Structure 1
């Protein structure tokens, strides 16, 4: 695992947006950030799941989170702009954004990739990420120490047979991250990506249904890196894809 000693209250007074916050890694990150003092903004497509995470955070006596129901597959550029403007007006700033939501598509031979599947994966994993980042950057720049974190994969740095759409989308994600990191290198914004590795999530189970889940890292196991990149300890880190395990 990525070795980092999490300090209590290290995210106090930070406002952090988490996409895909209704389940899996996004849910774990949102609750972890809240426990460390942050006010979290929960973005996801399923209101019921977001409300469950909201209730869990409130039950722990933590700062009240905000809920943003948004389906990245159908959201428009204006939706993201409006959301960013609302965050700026309601919170005055945005200290961090974890762009975690992704879709797997299907695992299939390259010559059998369905055009609609490819299009849907690119829409959620690339187009939405670009539009979301574009809209969020002005709000992130309102704070002195902002962190933008993308989510990559092992297949985003080394292509793998049958993983076509997802793999290609994660190569694009890493390129997107690097472009933003380079453009804002001398600003208050740092931009990086996380490769979570093999983790016990529903997406992983759909890709490897016969796998022994007991041998996989849990979402809690990989949180040190997620906290590190949102904390002030990572101020000098920019343009990197880092493995969580």
Structure 2
């Protein structure tokens, strides 16, 4: 799917929520979806970053987006319930959910991880995504063809030393995606994962501070896969974990 070419109006009339939409892959996905006709809901921790993405979308002539400031580390069940209710009330449906937000924490041996770091990573990378998906399901059911995308990682498929709680959280994401996919079966909802691979983002830089960023793929380079899974061309794809970059 890395060479998929979406039509200009591939996402017309779709409403898509992106978590972690303020920068990195989430920002580029929001811009890309808007460029292809979607009304995007920008969810993230930093309001100023979301406002900047909002302005970019308006400048490129995309549908007017919505902004939802939310810190997933401190979000409550009521926050998620309110989010789902608001989307149903204001938009009537939800056609896409990109669970993109995540935190890396610190790298090192598992035996040296502190409990609070482990808890924070699991809350943002796993619990928050499960809760968002749960409370957005009523709105997703009202879409003719709804797509949920979770964000995976190579360290969530094969264990690697020193990746600690982040790797464990991505193994959990892969399992969560597969479980959701089995449960939705042949309904109007499909659930898949994308592994972005090594990408020029702030998270990657914190994990590999000495790496030459110019040799990495940019978020823009990955968008073919993100567009494919959100478009109706992927309505029969469910329970898959796709790589956004070819080897």
Same fold per superposition (TM over 0.5): yes
Residue in structure 2 matched with residue 209 of structure 1 by the alignment:
209
CA distance in 1, matches of 2:202, 2:15: 27
Structure 1: distance between partners of 2:214 and 2:200: 8
Alpha-carbon offset, residue 36 of structure 1: 0.3
Where does residue 28 of structure 2 map in the other structure? Answer: 28
SS at match of 2:221: coil
**Aligned positions of 1:139-218 closer than 5 A:** 139-218=139-218
Question: Which residue in the other structure is 1:119 paired with?
Answer: 119
SS of residue matched to 2:219: coil
CA shift for structure 1 position 5: 1.4
State the secondary structure of the residue aligned to 1:229: helix
Query: Quick one: distance in 1 between partners of 2:16 and 2:129?
Result: 16
RMSD: 0.8
Q: Give SS of 1:220's match.
A: helix
| 1:222 corresponding residue in structure 2 | 222
What SS does the corresponding residue of 1:6 show, helix, strand or coil?
coil
Secondary structure in 2 matching 1:238: coil
The aligned residue for residue 16 of structure 1 is 16
Unmatched 5+ stretches in structure 2: none
Instruction: State the aligned residue count.
Output: 245
Q: Return the TM-score normalized by structure 2.
A: 0.98
> What is residue 244 of structure 1 aligned with on the other side?
244
Structure-2 separation of matches of 1:144 and 1:35: 21
3-state secondary structure, aligned to 1:98: strand
In the alignment, what sits opposite 2:130?
130
Structure 1 spans left out of the alignment, 5+ residues: none
Q: Say which is worse superposed, 57-66 or 189-198, in terms of deviation.
A: 57-66
2:84 aligned with 1:61, yes or no? no
Aligned-pair CA distance for 1:22: 0.1
Deviation, structure 1 residue 81:
1.1
- Normalising by structure 1, we get a TM-score of 0.99
Q: Following TM superposition, where does structure 1 have runs of at least 4 consecutive aligned residues deviating by more than 6 angstroms?
A: none
Counterpart Cα distance in 1 of 2:146 and 2:110? 39
